[in-house]
């Protein structure tokens, strides 16, 4: 049968939009982009909490082929990211392909196309791309009595404007989101209690307003902004990637990053007891570190209290720990997202032989060739896969995947094929290479990660989220992987027709 679309892309965030741009460049214009939210932008549409901003310099956290000379700061606020997403959708004419408020619940391979169940309907396409994000399923902590709390409970990923003036506020969680939010909450709450289970490594944030003259320069001479991007990315690569994935070889970079964060804490917090509580006991990079200039300082304010005892239960008026109870009016959950239980994949995906991707990943290992494709799942690109995330920035991940798509689709076209499937051998070898790199070089196996509670690790204790290579090597692999790592074929009906024609001719 002829499917309705060339490709269905699930997710209208930066990943889905990047894939759609690449598919259009490859000549696939008949696209359907399905998004469960009511607008595009992914994370940057959903997250609206006060203090929301990028924690990677904006010149790096954007598409290299679509630089934005208008960022107001080195680390742009969240609403500018949302505007940038809208600009990209308009410039690359993606909006007409987008459908909002449509939740995909399943996808199954049918001989030569994908059948996708979305909003109770079935749509079909030759190719399926899932770009559902890593951090898209908010996690509510399983704390006894949480449902009985009579005040307001709000997760950071479902923020509602709330006047906190004079209110007693508690926040659970001290991840990268909480680091941005806590200083903002402290500005209006009459009392703020921060419940911390695991401290986070926080480095100073070199965040400055970008003067109008510099923005004009970036607009007129884009290579200047490219140079800034290159410089920022190189520093980040050294600090956030090299000392993490090449911990064995560059332990010094890891130690320097740790020292840098400790000095930052020391400068902002004089009380040694408080400092101790805020100091991680795991190696830098075991979990996502972040940047902030006012996080540590906030804990020195008289109305802000750091609580490190476990929350045993919650009742109608507050939270109870071994240290006593804390009565609050508003409870903020900065408790992050479910990754490994619910998000790999985000909905049921059934492959060629009826294989269920989620079950297969859980029964075998979490794996995907170059973090993009899976054997047994033809014509399927899974952008949020194991080993796909290049730790530098989500945009380096997306652009590597776009390059991979370009090489794959070009090879397929050169063979007059319309179907692709990665070979088991290529996938197995890639998995083995990634596992060896994690085991031999990375902080995940050579550092102290046991107490980090990091979402980089899956439920089996394996660090299968980050690609354990440098960004340069990820780009190189995307543009040079052996095209024989895939099997290519015409669609079965065409192959059948060609065979019949051949027989007729020979008769």
Q: Which helix (H) or strand (E) holds 228?
A: helix 222-236
Our CB check for ligand NAP shows the closer of 11 and 378 to be 11
Integer Rg of the chain from CA: 24
Our CB check for ligand NAP shows the closer of 6 and 55 to be 55
Where do contacts with ligand NAP occur on this chain (CB under 6 A)? 53-56, 135, 141, 143, 156, 172-178, 180, 197-198, 288, 334-336, 453, 455
Our CB check for ligand NAP shows the closer of 42 and 376 to be 42
Cα 475 to Cα 455: distance, rounded to the nearest angstrom: 24
Q: Smallest gap, in angstroms, from Cβ of residue 36 to ligand NAP?
A: 19
Our CB check for ligand NAP shows the closer of 325 and 352 to be 325
Our CB check for ligand NAP shows the closer of 247 and 457 to be 457
Q: Smallest gap, in angstroms, from Cβ of residue 504 to ligand NAP?
A: 59
Cα 137 to Cα 127: distance, rounded to the nearest angstrom: 25
Cα 16 to Cα 33: distance, rounded to the nearest angstrom: 8
Q: Smallest gap, in angstroms, from Cβ of residue 34 to ligand NAP?
A: 23
Contacting residues for 396 by C-beta, under 8 A, at least 6 apart: 60, 233, 390, 471, 474, 475
Q: Give Cα separations from 398 to 46, 52, 298, 371 (angstroms).
A: 19, 22, 35, 11
What is the three-class DSSP state of 124? strand
Cα 327 to Cα 334: distance, rounded to the nearest angstrom: 18
What is the three-class DSSP state of 342? coil
Among all chains, which residue has been given the structure tokens 């009579």? 150
Our CB check for ligand NAP shows the closer of 32 and 245 to be 245
Q: Smallest gap, in angstroms, from Cβ of residue 270 to ligand NAP?
A: 24
Our CB check for ligand NAP shows the closer of 141 and 490 to be 141
Residues forming beta bridges with residue 205, ordered by sequence position: none
Q: Smallest gap, in angstroms, from Cβ of residue 142 to ligand NAP?
A: 6
Q: Smallest gap, in angstroms, from Cβ of residue 226 to ligand NAP?
A: 21
Which residue's C-beta sits nearest to ligand NAP?
A: 175
Q: Give Cα separations from 178 to 186, 202, 470 (angstroms).
A: 12, 12, 28
Q: Smallest gap, in angstroms, from Cβ of residue 140 to ligand NAP?
A: 9
Contact 135, 11 (CB under 8 A): no
Our CB check for ligand NAP shows the closer of 127 and 344 to be 344
Q: Smallest gap, in angstroms, from Cβ of residue 278 to ligand NAP?
A: 12
Q: Give Cα separations from 85 to 56, 62, 97, 245 (angstroms).
A: 16, 9, 15, 30
What's the sign of the alpha-carbon dihedral 429, 342, 460, 255? Answer: positive
Contact 453, 283 (CB under 8 A): no
Contact 310, 293 (CB under 8 A): no
Q: Smallest gap, in angstroms, from Cβ of residue 339 to ligand NAP?
A: 9
Give yes or no for a cis peptide into 404 (omega within 30° of 0): no
Our CB check for ligand NAP shows the closer of 112 and 462 to be 462
Contact 377, 423 (CB under 8 A): no
Q: Smallest gap, in angstroms, from Cβ of residue 446 to ligand NAP?
A: 21
Our CB check for ligand NAP shows the closer of 138 and 490 to be 138
Our CB check for ligand NAP shows the closer of 198 and 342 to be 198
Q: Smallest gap, in angstroms, from Cβ of residue 433 to ligand NAP?
A: 25
Q: How would DSSP label each residue in 363-397?
A: HS----BTTTB-TT-TTEEESS-TT-B-TT-HHHH
Our CB check for ligand NAP shows the closer of 126 and 139 to be 139
Q: Smallest gap, in angstroms, from Cβ of residue 141 to ligand NAP?
A: 3
Cα 473 to Cα 489: distance, rounded to the nearest angstrom: 29
Contact 136, 42 (CB under 8 A): yes
Q: Pull the structure tokens for residue 129.
A: 């791309």
């Amino acid at each position: 049968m002829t499917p309705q679309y060339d490709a269905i892309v699930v997710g209208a965030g930066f990943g889905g939009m990047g894939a759609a741009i690449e598919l259009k460049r490859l000549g696939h214009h008949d696209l359907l982009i399905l998004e469960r939210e009511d607008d595009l932008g992914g994370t940057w549409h959903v997250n609206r909490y006060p203090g929301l901003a990028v924690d990677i310099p904006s010149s790096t956290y954007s598409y290299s082929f679509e630089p934005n000379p208008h960022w107001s700061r080195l680390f742009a606020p969240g609403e500018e990211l949302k505007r940038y997403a809208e600009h990209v959708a308009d410039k690359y004419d993606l909006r007409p392909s987008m459908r909002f408020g449509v939740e995909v619940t399943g996808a199954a391979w049918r001989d030569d196309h994908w059948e996708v169940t979305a909003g109770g309907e079935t749509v079909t396409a030759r190719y399926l791309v899932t770009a559902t994000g890593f951090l898209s399923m908010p996690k509510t902590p399983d704390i006894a009595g949480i449902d009985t709390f009579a005040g307001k409970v709000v997760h950071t990923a479902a923020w509602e404007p709330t006047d906190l003036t004079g209110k007693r506020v508690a926040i659970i969680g001290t991840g990268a989101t909480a680091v941005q939010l806590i200083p903002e909450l402290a500005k209006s709450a009459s009392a703020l209690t921060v419940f911390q289970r695991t401290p986070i490594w926080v480095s100073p944030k070199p965040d400055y307003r970008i003067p109008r003259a510099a923005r004009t320069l970036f607009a007129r001479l884009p290579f200047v902004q490219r140079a800034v991007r290159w410089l920022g990315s190189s520093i980040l690569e050294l600090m956030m990637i090299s000392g993490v994935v090449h911990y064995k070889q560059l332990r010094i970079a890891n130690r320097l990053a740790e020292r840098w964060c400790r000095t930052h804490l020391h400068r902002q917090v004089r009380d040694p007891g408080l400092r101790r509580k805020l100091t991680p006991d795991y190696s830098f990079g075991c979990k996502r570190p972040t940047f902030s200039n006012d996080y540590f300082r906030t804990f020195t304010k008289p109305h802000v209290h750091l609580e490190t005892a476990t929350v045993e239960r919650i009742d109608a008026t507050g939270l109870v720990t071994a240290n006593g109870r804390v009565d609050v009016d508003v409870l903020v959950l900065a408790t992050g997202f479910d990754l490994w239980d619910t998000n790999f994949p985000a909905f049921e995906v059934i492959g060629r032989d009826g294989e269920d991707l989620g079950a297969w990943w859980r029964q075998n290992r979490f794996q995907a060739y170059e973090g993009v494709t899976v054997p047994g799942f033809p014509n399927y690109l899974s952008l949020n896969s194991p080993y796909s995330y290049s730790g530098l920035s989500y945009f380096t991940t997306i652009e590597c995947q776009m390059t991979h798509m370009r090489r794959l689709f070009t090879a397929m076209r050169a063979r007059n094929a319309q179907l692709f499937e990665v070979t088991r051998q290529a996938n197995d070898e890639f998995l083995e290479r990634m596992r060896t790199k994690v085991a031999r070089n990375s902080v995940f196996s050579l550092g102290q990660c046991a107490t980090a509670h990091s979402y980089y690790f899956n439920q089996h204790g394996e660090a299968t989220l980050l690609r354990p290579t440098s960004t340069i090597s990820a780009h190189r692999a995307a543009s040079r992987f052996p095209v024989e790592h895939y099997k290519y074929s015409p669609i079965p009906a065409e192959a059948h027709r060609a065979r019949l024609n051949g027989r007729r001719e020979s008769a």
